[in-house]
Amino acid sequence: MTKLVFLLKGALEIILMSLLIIGYDITIFLVLVYLIDLFLLTFNLLMDNIFKAFGKEYKLIEFSLTDIFDKLFKKKNITSKILIGFAIGTITLFVCNFACKTYFYRSFTQTSPDNYVIDYNLNDYSDITNIKFNIDEAILYVKHSDKFELNVKSEFNRKVCFNKEGNELVITTDYLKKFDFLNLLEEPLPVFTLYIPTSNFNLETSFEDGYIYLEDVAIQNLKVDMTFGNIILNNLTSSNADITITKCGLNVSKSNFADMKVVADEGQVIIDETNLYNIDIHSDNAGIQLQNIKASKVLINHLNIKYMVKHIVMFKLKDTLSKDEKLDVMNRFKAAIEALPASISVIRKVFVGLNINEAEAWDICLESEFDSLDDVKFYAAHPDHVAAAGILKDAKQDRACVDYEC
């Protein structure tokens, strides 16, 4: 952690952080001494019992590191007194550093850094179509602008590399600086703000930890892979979005996509007031909320579910209806039912098939999948489903249904 002191700015910050580091190191050292003594106590008791079994004396039964310190300073319990003193002093220094908003405060609260602010003009790369951020930990903003540049704010001076590979620009940077094994003094996340003048770019990001904000911007194709953190997409327009998250949140609102695929291990996926043509969500243990979305096709696959319930319903229309009347009712019913996943999130899959064989008695076959029978009941009572089913109210002659696990 000594290296940290030489990276700081300001006399007061250097003094407070130096004292904090000294107190912190000594406190951790004394805690380790007590942990070692705890191990020695257990080990010595075990060895003493073994020696006694053979009729011998184990002479190191009272050996401990704290005993050595007591004899060295010629005072009883000196180690515990020193530990208490340094612990109180270190806590006091923690409070002082927090109050003075030194590096410890900025690291602990992940305050947006501004010690180093650099603007990189990207006009030399105006012919590229793909932008890829291959960064371990950071905060990324993507904004629309009449300029093409990258703004980087960081706590410490860092190297940002731009590698052009064909029509792709790959952006990388240094790993975060870490100064202690508990990561209490870890460098705050650097902030990258990408300004793009057009919507013709494809954006790809691969983050271990951090935050991604895309707001009021258009991207041709978006690909995001993130382990920890949060992804916020607000008023985003994209032809295709492919998002993979492990343990983080995804919040999409007021956006437009042609196709969207989300693979979520854990975390929370919220999509609200968004227009999509196709949306495909594969979830292990992630929470999924779809609210006020418009989509032609919705597929939700919960990978951790060991079984599913298939809900199959067949309808026969009245023989008094003409062929054109039947076809009109069938198509309206099909469109209404297949749009329900946008408002009823428990539907894993739904499809309505229309009979083309006049020799058969049934006109419509509805196939749907749910995680449980309770979800089927929720779907059946949902107002949007009731409204869709109402399309057949005056045209239906008969109905048959089966629910089974598979």
Q: pLDDT by residue (tens digit) across 17-67?
A: 778 778 888 888 888 888 888 898 888 888 888 888 888 888 887 888 888
CA distance 216 to 225: 21
User: How much is the pLDDT for 375?
Assistant: 92
CB 289 within 8 A of CB 269: yes
Q: What is the pTM of this model?
A: 0.65
Q: Choose the weakest-confidence range: 25-29, 209-213, 271-275.
A: 25-29
User: Going by DSSP bridges, is the β-strand pair 137-144/256-272 parallel, antiparallel, or unpaired?
Assistant: unpaired
- The H-or-E segment that residue 163 falls in is strand 160-165
User: How much is the pLDDT for 185?
Assistant: 74
Is residue 73 pLDDT above 80, yes or no? no
Q: Choose the weakest-confidence range: 110-124, 239-253, 332-346.
A: 110-124
User: How much is the pLDDT for 152?
Assistant: 94
**The total number of residues written for the chain in this structure:** 406
**Three-class SS state of 385:** helix
CA distance 241 to 170: 19
Q: Summarize pLDDT for 356-376 with one digit per residue, the tens.
A: 998 899 999 999 999 889 999
User: How much is the pLDDT for 8?
Assistant: 56
> Which one has a higher pLDDT value, 108 or 134?
134
Q: How far apart, in Å, are the Cα atoms of 327 and each of 330, 353, 355, 387? A: 5, 12, 10, 19
What's the whole-number mean pLDDT along residues 339-359? 90
Which of 339, 328, 266, 329 has the alpha carbon at shortest distance from 302?
266
**Three-class SS state of 58:** coil
Which of 342, 350, 329 has the alpha carbon at shortest distance from 394?
329
Which pLDDT band holds residue 7 (cuts at 50, 70, 90)? low
What's the whole-number mean pLDDT along residues 134-142? 92
Q: What is the CA radius of gyration of the chain?
A: 32
CB 135 within 8 A of CB 171: yes
